[in-house]
Chains A and B, each alone.
Chain A
């Protein structure tokens, strides 16, 4: 076991050269993953046959298939992937010259900027945590995302995606809690999930200020945000298993990487 190594590789260009990296991002993102299912349900181990032609063409350093592994490693990789997605999204929203769209509400730019910072911190934290326990090959790589479906200049589009990501993050952490073996990791997940819920609440209120949307309404069309676990009302966030979350995220088309989840804990 290695000692935790603080090897935080901060993406300094992410903000200062966002224009350049964005173009690069979009180019890489052109190879969007097209498929029906992100995860493989078979019990076959990771092997060459899962590596797509695209991946081979891009070389071994550009992994496009990743096996999340098992146990706590799988859950931490899963969280790391979700935080990468969030941070990458907000890096496109928060630019040197302000938000990618014209904000409306007071403090809107500050809210989005704060959230961007938080997600970068979460991402780098998981990267550090994973690196302190596992070999590089066992840790999710730096992922590429395809946000070509998002119109970053459009406020309602950006906020809708933000809301979806934050609400999904809440459900994901809620569903992952019981799957963690180590209660230190459980506490850390607990420290993060409530911040994601604070984000979700704020974004929902930006979309519909002063309404009840901060903790009610729909998650996605046809599915309420909150559920009832046996109280008397829709008063509980959902808790969703990792495979369901990854499938939903896959459906957004944002992911360029396939994940093998056949060993991720399910109970």
Chain B
């Protein structure tokens, strides 16, 4: 699949560029004061010498954080993408089997609402809807092959989950927006779980994506086993081992990583 090659090419580069330094991590603390003692221990850096990728440490430093407006527009673009994708899918005769239409109709309803909400929140600052090409110039049989449609759906939903998660830290300056973003984030995760299971995969992500999924960039960094600076590998061998550890935590993607994925489908 050309799509996979394309995604493979873009994976990893932004991750390296976004790597946080130790110094920066001290700036991640939202507020000081009573919490200073707690905050002064950078939990995520407790394990020294561990090579940690951007995906596991994706909280950008304050100086690198996007503004709330940028984040809302970033989210709006993703929701435009999903809304457009599902609308075309449902409008394409013979693509989605009858038994699956209810699921995608609900997902479309949710994405429409997310678009409306984000556009309303942004008002005059809202970016216009891009023009999408889900076939990537004809390379993909997205709307003629249900398997491809499902694969892209899974990729978009899992990317959406990772995208919102990656902006949580930057939204911490605005509790209202942060909470709204979290309320969308978990709905995208519900979608992702459902679509993954319709494809015969687990609802959760094992390692760097699951068997049968070759959309590598979407799952870059998902195999992380270091959480809060603690290497969990080897501690849960009687409880599903490394596979379960990677499933138990979803990882964020940076804005650049997400834009690289979404950008493939924007003309």
Interfacial residues, chain A to chain B (CB-CB below 8 A): 1, 3-4, 6, 8, 10, 12, 15, 71-73, 110-111, 113-114, 116-118, 120-122, 124-125, 128-129, 132-133, 170, 173-175, 177-178, 181-188, 190-202, 205, 210-212, 214-216, 226-239, 267
Contacts and interface: CB of A to CB of B under 8 A. Distances in A.
Contact of A187 (B58, B121, B192): B58
B192 to A, nearest CB: 7
A155 B234 CA distance: 33
A80 B30 CA distance: 22
A236 B191 CA distance: 12
Given A133-B41, A190-B252, A184 B194 contact: no
B236 A237 contact: no
Given A118-B247, A201-B203, A124 B236 contact: yes
Interface string B150-173: 000000000001000100110010
A21 to B, nearest CB: 15
Contact of A195 (B106, B121, B248): B248
By Cβ-Cβ distance, the 10 closest A-B pairs, closest first, are: A231-B113, A231-B117, A235-B113, A117-B240, A197-B189, A201-B193, A194-B189, A198-B193, A233-B113, A178-B175
Interface string B187-218: 11111111001000011100000000000000
Contacts of A6: 230-231, 235
A214 B195 CA distance: 10
Interface in B56-74: 58-59
B178 A178 contact: yes
Nearest to A230: B117
Contacts, number: 269
Given A177-B179, A184-B42, A226-B187, A195 B103 contact: no
With a 10 A CB-CB cut-off, give which of B25, B105, B168 has the most chain A CB atoms: B168
B228 interface: yes
B7 interface: no
A174 B183 contact: yes
Nearest to B107: A215
Contacts of A195: 189, 204, 247-250
Contacts of B131: none
B229 interface: yes
Interface string B239-256: 110001101111110000
Given A117-B239, A191-B249, A197-B193, A236 B37 contact: no
B183 A4 contact: no
Contacts of A237: 182-183, 186-187, 190
Nearest to A1: B41
Chain B at the A interface: mostly helix, strand, loop or mixed? Answer: helix
Contacts of A72: 35, 38
Nearest to B181: A177
B250 A231 contact: no
Contacts of A216: 106
A229 B183 contact: yes
B113 A181 contact: no
Summarize A's interface: helix, strand, loop or mixed.
helix
A245 to B, nearest CB: 14
Given A72-B38, A237-B183, A121 B244 contact: yes
B103 A212 contact: yes
B249 A210 contact: no
A109 to B, nearest CB: 13
Contact of A210 (B103, B115, B178, B192): B103
A2 B40 CA distance: 12
Contacts of B100: 210
7 contacts: A4-B46, A71-B38, A122-B248, A125-B230, A174-B183, A212-B106, A215-B191
Contact of B34 (A71, A201, A228): A71
Given A125-B230, A210-B102, A233-B109, A177 B182 contact: yes
B19 interface: no
B120 to A, nearest CB: 6
Contacts of B189: 193-195, 197-198, 201
A217 B245 CA distance: 30
B249 A192 contact: yes
B244 A118 contact: yes
Contacts of B114: 231, 235
Nearest to A191: B249
Interface centre among A10, A187, A188, A193 (most CB of B within 10 A): A187
Contacts of A197: 186-187, 189-190, 193
A188 B183 contact: no
A128 B229 CA distance: 11
Contacts of A202: 193-194, 197, 203
